[in-house]
Amino acid sequence: MRRTIQLTLNERPTSIEVEDTEVLLDVLRGELGLCGARFGCGMGQCGACAVLVDGKVSPACAVEIGSVDGKAVLTAEGLGTPEHPHPLQAAFLELQAGQCGYCLTGILIGAKALLDMNPDPGRAEIAQALAWHLCRCGVHNRVMDAVALAARRMREAVAA
Amino acid sequence: MIPPMLSANPRLDRWVRFEPDGRARIAFGRMEYGQGIGTSLAQMAADELDLPMARLHVVPAATGEIPDEGLTVGSMSTEFSGPAIRTACAEVRALFIAAAAGRLGCAPADLEVRDGAFLKRGEPTGLDYWALAGDVDLARDATGEAPLKPIERMHIVGESEPRLDLPAKLFGAAFLHDMTLPGMRHARVLRQPGPRARLASLDEAAVRRAAPDVDILIDHAFVALICGSEAAAARAYAAAEATARWEGARDLDPQLAEPASLKTLPHETFRAGAPAPEAANRRRVTATYGKPYLAHGSMGPSAGIAQFEDGRLTIWTHNQGVYPMRGLAARITGLDAAAIDVIHAQGPGCYGHNGADDPPIDAALIAIRRPGPPIRVQWRREDEFGWAPVGTAMLMELTAEVDASGRLVDYTAEIWNTAHTGARGTAVAESALDGYVEPGAQPVRMMPDGARFSGGLLNAIPSYDIAATRTVEHVIFPPPVRTSSLRSLGGAPNTYAGESFIDELAEISGQDPLAYRLAMTSEPRGRAVLEKLAEMCGWVRRGAAGTGRGLGLAYDRHRNRGGFIACAAEVEVEQEVRLVKLWCAADAGLIVNPDGARNQIEGGMIMAASWTLKERVKLGGPGIQSTTWDDYPILRFDEVPPVEIALLNTRDARPYGIGELSQGSTMGAIANAVAHALGARVRDLPLTRERIAAALLAV
């Protein structure tokens, strides 16, 4: 059914007319022009398309747009910009935590959800939280170090 | 001497130009795909020109814009493209110094370059590269006569410059997959179930009901569904797939996935090396190792865009080389190469020849039949796993003769594999076209030294002092599925097998695996990495075998002519293998970007760990059956161990490749650690729970 969906997209009220069975990932990358969520598998198996829906990590490839009506959706574009990066993005750049980079925006979203819940995660907790996300280049250790670095910076900023 | 890549592209302005905006335009023929090569080559250019990195404009790769350096493969970019860009930049710098000296009436030796400006005995002259750009004609061929800077005067080479391509990838759109062109249409291609399958029927009405705007293109067995959106193309595809009837579908025997089955397939045999050993008072040992077909497993399924307008075909690709793509597209479409432009855009890591060549060819075949709009083809995960070429399975039967002291004196590697570069220059779509003839075996590629090259013999002989060695290679043709280059080709599997075997020989001889290796390593750089590794991993603490905890190591020299590397692994084995830690000591000579080198080496180790413990392509039906990440698991965040890396000899004059340096010794180290933990050897990869259980039962 074609209808108007209202959502908070990257902290901005957004309304869009779509078939409510359309896939969130297609709508984000298509009509909305947000390519931060990337197509990796279309089956929720790899994490490349991760977004936050009301703060919960979700594979945008397996979410119907109708189900996010009235909800808040956050994509990598909503984290930060090159001029004003999120502490996670800044830490990933500082530690050069990436090779091909295809998985990184999804991982940033997964890491954001983790730090929202647990501002001081240990290595095992970070690994557990990101276990759904696949990375083929083998930058896992750098990514985990970058998440820990961002967490420390964010805690220091709160304390300051 | 002029480096080969420069003599193939001798015009200096193809490499370097000075742009009016105060930057130097640098072009090289290597594709960036996340390995950091663009940054490393720019560092070399910056040093030779005495320019800061911020003054460089590295042009995106496209035909006509960059020198033709063929494919970006084989861990060879720094080693071979580096000298070309350095020589070109050194010559450009010398030409400008000469021009400045002419204007200033001084000797060239009185001048130096700082931030692109010419200083005379340390004082500004008012001249810089850009002011002199009109005086120096760079539309000339390189002579190779300008001396390169000595390493000790290079300041940017050796620094961990941040990657030029990484920032965009953290904030949103960055890849070819994210490109939108005006009027662009989205297509999906219905694949033949096997190269001989022919379309018998398709319910076009059902396809139109699913996607009313669909344009159905059927040309023999090539079926494309072209729509205004990706979602519509997906619906059309689903309806087409459900209603298409094929004749001549392939039905592969699942057993063909097993390396041992390679022996049953047609092959050609090549022998090289020492004559057969004469009878002597030696002990002969034989062991057979297997490595299955492996997927490249790129995180993003491949994509491509093509547009045919006014007789010109433009292709956007994330493949390994724009000029080879132009040649491939010309051959398949029948167009003149001069009528084809190829533009490179960023893509997911490929680790060799994955599916990247295919969607742009799908798109080109559609575009020339539907001139006008850009046609975008985005493969699905099932397409990438199912139709991209894979790394070949290998069976490695190794025979050694050891003397009375246990020393290895005679070594034979007998290998079965398909060609590691067999799918190069082909596309999966070709077999669907009218007039398709299945190609014969690709002609054997010859190396500059006259040796034939299939990729299967890389590191077939371990990197030690062995009196007599020989290889027997059986190259299977045709392969049961398309096989192509996968990071290191035969190198890593051969080192896996050879280094497992060396551990077995050490054990038979009652010797420590490290001491056994050192005793047959006279090469000082090889000894140095082994000794450094032993110190890093605490080799002296290594205890008895069979305790469930194991420490193993392995060593090789990349392709027996490149960098030296030793890796160690510590594991715990209960039912499955848990990686506790990995170590690596590597000497790859001059390191252009230390952080980038560490990133590549570590990434290679993690990928190799994944190959060793988890990965195997499943065959059956029309081809590959493992088409999702559930069917083809790879190492996950909670399975990745900490990694410690030491780089040795990093200011040596000569750089060696690092992209495929670390996989073989990592595989060998893990296999040896698992054998140490179990007190039993599993010789077939991956080292799964079932195989470990079987090995323990056999003890």
Q: What ipTM, to 2 d.p.?
A: 0.98
Residue B231 contacts residue B380 (beta carbons within 8 Å): no
- CA B563 from centre of chain: 16
In this complex, the residue of B160, B168, B177 whose CB is nearest that of residue A39 is: B177
Helices within B300-445 (DSSP H only): 322-333, 358-369, 381-387
> What tokens appear for B42 in the block?
């720019």
**pLDDT, tens digit, for every residue of B12-32?**
999 999 999 999 999 999 999
Contacts of B489 (CB under 8 A, 6+ apart): B74, B352, B420, B421, B455, B456, B458
- Contact (CB<8Å) B603/A42: no
Convert the pLDDT of each residue in B42-59 to its tens digit: 999 999 999 999 999 999
Residues 6+ apart with CB under 8 A from B690: none
pTM of the model: 0.97
A33 touches chain B (CB under 8 A): yes
CA distance A109 to A111: 5
What SS3 class is residue A33? Answer: coil
Residue B88: in which H helix or E strand, if any?
Answer: helix B82-104
- Give A16-64 pLDDT, tens digit per residue: 999 999 999 999 999 999 999 999 999 999 999 999 999 999 999 999 9
The residue whose two tokens read 């996010």 is: A68
- Cβ count within 10 A of residue A122: 11
Q: Is the pLDDT of residue B444 over 70?
A: no
Of B297, B348, B637, the CB nearest to A133: B637
Contacts of A39 in chain B (CB under 8 A): 177, 300-301, 378
What's the token pair of residue B48?
């030779």
Farthest-apart Cα atoms in chain B, separation: 85
CB contacts, 8 Å: A144 with chain B: 637
Question: Tens digits of per-residue pLDDT, B280-327?
Answer: 789 999 999 999 999 999 999 999 999 999 999 999 999 999 999 999
When pLDDT is averaged across residues B454-477 and rounded to a whole number, the result is 96
Give the DSSP H/E element, type plus range, for residue A7. Answer: strand A2-9
* Bridge pairing between strands B375-378 and B185-190: parallel
- CB-neighbour burial class of residue B59 (10 A; exposed 0-12, middle 13-18, buried 19+): middle
Out of A42, A75, A99, name the one closest to residue B349 (CB).
A99
CA angle B268–B668–B566, rounded 5-degree value: 115
DSSP one-letter string for A106-151: HHHHHHHHHHHH-SS--HHHHHHHTTT---SS--HHHHHHHHHHHH
A147 lies within 8 A of chain B by CB? no
Taking CB atoms and an 8 Å cutoff, what residues of chain B touch A38?
175, 177, 300
The confidence score (pLDDT) of residue B94 equals 97
pLDDT at B77: 84
Torsion over CA: B199, B202, B204, B206 (sign): negative
Which helix (H) or strand (E) segment holds residue A28: the answer is helix A24-29
pLDDT level of residue B448 (50, 70, 90 thresholds) = low
Beta carbons of A116 and A55 less than 8 angstroms apart: yes
pLDDT digits (tens, 9 = 90+) for B408-423: 999 999 999 999 988 8
- Backbone φ, ψ for residue A81 (5° rounding): -125, 165
Give the rounded distance of the alpha carbon of A127 from its chain centre. 16
Closest-approach residue (CA) in chain A for B35? A99
Calculate Rg over the CA atoms of chain B.
27
Q: What is the pLDDT of residues A73-112, one digit of tens each?
A: 999 999 999 999 999 999 999 999 999 999 999 999 999 9
Residues 346-375 of chain B with CB under 8 A from chain A are 346-349, 351
Region B575-581: mean pLDDT is: 96
Report yes or no: A137 at the B interface, CB cutoff 8 Å.
Answer: yes
Q: In 3D, which of A29, A21, A42, A41 has the Cα closest to residue A73?
A: A29
Whether A102 sits inside 8 A of B629 (CB atoms) is no
| Minimum Cα–Cα distance from B173: chain A residue | A35
pLDDT band at B257 (very low <50, low <70, confident <90, very high): very high
pLDDT of residue B682 exceeding 70, the answer is yes
Structure tokens at A78: 């909503």
Work out the percent of chain B whose per-residue pLDDT is above 90. Answer: 92
Q: How many helices (H) and strands (E) does chain A have?
A: 5, 5
CA end-to-end span of chain B, whole Å?
Answer: 59
- pLDDT by residue (tens digit) across B629-670? 999 999 999 999 999 999 999 999 889 999 999 999 999 999
- 3-class state of residue A64 by DSSP: strand
Bridging pattern class, strands A2-9 and A72-74: parallel
Q: For residues A105 and B84, what is the distance between their CA atoms, to the nearest angstrom?
A: 35
Q: Say if the Cβ atoms of A102 and B636 lie within 8 Å.
A: no
Assigned token pair, B498: 């050879």
Q: By the 8 A CB rule, do B270 and B475 touch?
A: yes
What distance in Å separates the CA atoms of residue B492 and residue B376, rounded to the nearest whole number? 36
Q: What is the pLDDT of residue B633?
A: 98
CA–CA min distance B686, chain A (Å): 17
pLDDT tens, B481-537? 999 999 999 999 999 999 999 999 999 999 999 999 999 999 999 999 999 999 999
Among B107-116, B214-223, B269-278, B362-371, which is the least confidently predicted range?
B269-278
Query: Do A40 and B299 make contact, defined as CB atoms within 8 angstroms?
Result: yes
Contacts of B123 (CB under 8 A, 6+ apart): none
Spatial distance between the Cα atoms of B210 and B20, rounded to a whole number of angstroms: 54
Average pLDDT over residues A62-73: 97
For A105, phi then psi, to 5°, come to: -65, -35
Residue B583: is it exposed, middle or buried by C-beta count within 10 angstroms (0-12/13-18/19+)?
A: buried
Q: Which strand (E) or helix (H) includes residue B579?
A: strand B577-587
Helices B594-613 and A140-159 cross at an angle (nearest 10°) of 120
How many other C-beta atoms are found inside a 10 Å radius of the C-beta of residue B435?
Answer: 5
Contact residues, B window 296-335, toward A, CB-based 8 Å cutoff: 297-301
Residue type, B22: G
Q: Identify all chain B residues contacting A143, using CB atoms and an 8 Å cutoff.
A: 637
Task: Specify the higher pLDDT residue, B211 or B445.
Answer: B211
CA distance A76 to A112: 10
Nearest C-alpha neighbor of B230 from the set B311, B142, B301: B301
| pLDDT higher than threshold 70 for residue B185 | yes
DSSP assignment string, B483-545: B--BTTTTHHHHHHHHHHHHHHHHHHTT--HHHHHHTT---HHHHHHHHHHHHHHTGGG---S
Lowest mean pLDDT among A98-102, B81-85, B139-143: B81-85
B637–A contact, CB cutoff 8 A: yes
A 10 A CB-CB count for B264 gives 13
pLDDT at B218 over 80: yes
CA–CA distance, B506 with B511 (Å, rounded to integer): 5
Chain A residues closer than 8 Å to B600 by CB: 99
Do the strands B23-26 and B56-58 form a parallel or antiparallel pair, or are they unpaired? parallel
On chain B, the residues whose CB falls within 8 A of the CB of A136 are 297-299, 348-349, 351, 607, 634
Minimum CA–CA partner of B601 in chain A: A138
Q: Among residues 55-94 of chain A, which lie with CB inside 8 Å of chain B?
A: 75-77, 80-82, 85, 89, 92-93
Q: Tell me what the pLDDT averaged over chain B comes to.
A: 95
Map tokens 């993005």 to a residue.
A89
> Which of A15, A120, A115, A112 minimizes the C-alpha distance to A69?
A15
CB within 8 A of B454, min separation 6: which ones?
B270, B417, B419, B420, B421, B444, B445, B473, B475, B490
Is residue B236 within 8 Å of residue B210, measured between CB atoms? yes
How far B319 CA lies from chain A's nearest CA (Å)? Answer: 13
> Which residues have CB under 8 Å from A84's CB, separation 6+?
none
Residue entry with tokens 């170090």: A145
Closest CA to B402 of B502, B479, B254, B537: B502
Smallest CA–CA distance from B609 into chain A, residue = A138
Q: Could you read off the pLDDT of B605-634 as tens digits, one per residue?
A: 999 999 999 999 999 999 999 999 999 999
pLDDT value for A160 = 83
